[in-house]
């Protein structure tokens, strides 16, 4: 309560200093920042209204930043892309004094080398999560603990992975015991994926796709994102998220402010609200990725998905966090993946 009051007053102070602004946020659709109640609470506390625009891929996000200078005030950037955006001069450094809740973000996350591209914080750590897989609990007596379940002939034609070159290659890198950020044996990855192809029923593109395929009984096991899995489980789908013993892909999302933003103060306020424990706890109740804010993570109820699975240090130890991927490797992965798809 005290915290809430504090936030209201700090925002009120800012609010009087700057007139009510309309800030434009660029994000994936349905990814936290555009929750009605959250935007409403922010507008009430600060007087600033929030308008959203969406992207469907990181490349699209970068293109939008390049082509529409001044159009956005807050943008969600995956940490693996923050250095590129910083290098191109698309995003500016964060004024850490304006973001109070940043002090509750553990130093190892706040000090992430990618978010601190160019020697200064360019993306406020917001959420993190895993790309691993989930199984249909109706088809398994015992939850599998190995990624090899994808290659199990018992599930032939009941398997799905996302139609994404990078994700497919990194997934196979984990299955072949390699470092996802430094794949030394790409041939092994290709062979492993080629072996996987006949098992696949279809590729999935969006969370909605995934839920539909699972609900229709088309799939037994499919790669999935932790945040999406928590939402699907909360919605009552009989699925269980698995972090296999071989490991999982980790990602970290940050909120950045474009260099061309004209409403930087309001943008900082919005980001501060986005990493506020009060916002996060409410968001997590409907299914959210893990928060980068330790205080927010601790505020979750004990049975919450993000506390139960992602809060387990043993699980976190198995995670390989995604680093930036060079243009050259990206191209190689894409060719590999397209070749495999075309051979079907």
Partner 1 sequence: MSNVLANQERLKIFGLLSPAYLWLTVAIFLPLSAMLYFSFLSDVPFGDAEWTYTANNYRAFFQTSTYATLLWKSLKLGLMVTCISLLVGFPCAYVLAKAIKGRSREALFLLVILPFWSNSLVRIFSWAIVLRGNGVLELGLNAILPFEVDVNLMFTTPAIVIGLVHSYLPYVILTSYLALQAIDDNLIDAARSMGANKLTILWRIILPLSLPGLLAGAVLIFVPVVGSFMEPRILGGRVGTYFGTVIEDQFVAVFNWPLGAALSFILLAVVLLILAVASPVLKRAQT
Quote the least distance from Cβ 124 to partner 1, whole Å: 24
Query: Are the beta carbons of 290 and 228 closer than 8 angstroms?
Result: no
3-state secondary structure of 244: coil
Torsion of CA 251, 74, 325, 245, to 10 degrees: 0
3-state secondary structure of 155: helix
List the x/- string, 180-209, binding to partner 1 by CB under 8 A: -----------------x--xxxx------
| Binders in 116-135 for partner 1, by CB under 8 A | none
How many residues comprise the chain? 344
Quote the least distance from Cβ 42 to partner 1, whole Å: 30
Beta strands in the chain (DSSP E): 22-27, 49-54, 74-78, 91-92, 124-136, 159-160, 221-225, 239-242, 248-258, 290-291, 319-321
Quote the least distance from Cβ 99 to partner 1, whole Å: 27
| Binders in 88-107 for partner 1, by CB under 8 A | 88-89
| Binders in 208-267 for partner 1, by CB under 8 A | 216-218
Measure the CA–CA gap between 245 and 341, rounded to whole angstroms. Answer: 28
Residues paired with 51 in a beta bridge: 24
Quote the least distance from Cβ 165 to partner 1, whole Å: 8
| Binders in 35-64 for partner 1, by CB under 8 A | 56-57, 59-60, 62-63
3-state secondary structure of 114: coil
Supply the DSSP string of 256-285, one letter for each residue: EEETT-S-HHHHHHHHHHHT-HHHHHHHHH
Quote the least distance from Cβ 242 to partner 1, whole Å: 22
Quote the least distance from Cβ 65 to partner 1, whole Å: 8
Tell me if 304 contacts partner 1 by CB under 8 A. Answer: no
| Binders in 135-164 for partner 1, by CB under 8 A | 163-164
Measure the CA–CA gap between 42 and 83, rounded to whole angstroms. Answer: 29
List the x/- string, 3-42, binding to partner 1 by CB under 8 A: ----------------------------------------
Which of these ranges, 99-107, 130-138, 274-282, 330-338, lies near partner 1 under the rule CB under 8 A?
330-338
Return the number of the residue (189 or 271) whose C-beta is nearest partner 1: 189
Q: Which pair of tokens denotes residue 329? A: 């490797």
Calculate Rg over the CA atoms of the chain.
20
Tell me if 332 contacts partner 1 by CB under 8 A. Answer: no
Quote the least distance from Cβ 231 to partner 1, whole Å: 22
Q: How would you classify the pairing of strands 319-321 and 248-258? A: parallel
Quote the least distance from Cβ 66 to partner 1, whole Å: 3
Q: Which pair of tokens denotes residue 64? A: 């939008």
Tell me if 343 contacts partner 1 by CB under 8 A. Answer: yes
The residue ranges that bind partner 1 (CB under 8 A) are 56-57, 59-60, 62-63, 65-67, 69, 88-89, 163-164, 197, 200-203, 216-218, 334-335, 338-339, 341-344
């Amino acid at each position: 309560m005290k915290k809430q009051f504090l936030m209201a007053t700090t925002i009120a102070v800012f609010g009087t200093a700057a007139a009510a602004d309309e800030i434009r946020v660029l994000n994936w659709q349905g990814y936290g920042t555009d929750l009605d109640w959250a935007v409403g609470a922010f507008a009430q506390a600060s007087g600033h209204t929030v308008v959203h625009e969406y992207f469907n891929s990181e490349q699209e996000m970068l293109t939008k930043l390049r082509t529409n200078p001044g159009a956005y005030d807050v943008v969600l950037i995956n940490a693996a892309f923050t250095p590129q955006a910083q290098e191109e001069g698309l995003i500016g450094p964060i004024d850490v004094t304006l973001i109070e809740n940043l002090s509750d973000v553990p130093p190892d996350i706040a000090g992430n080398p990618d978010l601190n591209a160019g020697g200064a914080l360019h993306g406020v750590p917001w959420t993190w999560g895993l790309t691993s897989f989930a199984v249909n609990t109706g088809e398994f007596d015992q939850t599998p603990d190995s990624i090899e379940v994808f290659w199990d002939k018992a599930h032939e034609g009941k398997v799905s992975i996302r139609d994404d070159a990078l994700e497919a290659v990194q997934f196979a890198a984990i299955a072949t015991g390699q470092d996802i950020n430094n794949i030394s044996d790409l041939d092994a990855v290709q062979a492993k994926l080629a072996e996987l192809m006949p098992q696949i029923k279809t590729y999935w593109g969006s969370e909605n796709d995934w839920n539909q395929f699972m609900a229709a009984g088309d799939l037994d096991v499919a790669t999935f994102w932790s945040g999406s899995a928590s939402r699907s489980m909360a919605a009552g789908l009989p699925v269980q998220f698995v972090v296999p013993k071989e490991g999982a892909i980790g990602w970290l999302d940050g909120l950045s402010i474009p260099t061309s933003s004209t409403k930087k103060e309001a943008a900082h306020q919005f980001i501060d609200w986005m990493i506020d424990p009060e916002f996060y706890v409410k968001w997590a109740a409907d299914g959210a990725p893990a928060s980068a804010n330790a205080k927010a993570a601790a505020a979750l109820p004990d049975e919450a998905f993000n506390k139960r699975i992602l809060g387990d240090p043993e699980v976190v130890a198995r995670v390989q966090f995604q680093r930036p991927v060079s243009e050259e490797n990206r191209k190689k992965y894409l060719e590999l993946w397209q070749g495999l798809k075309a051979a079907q």
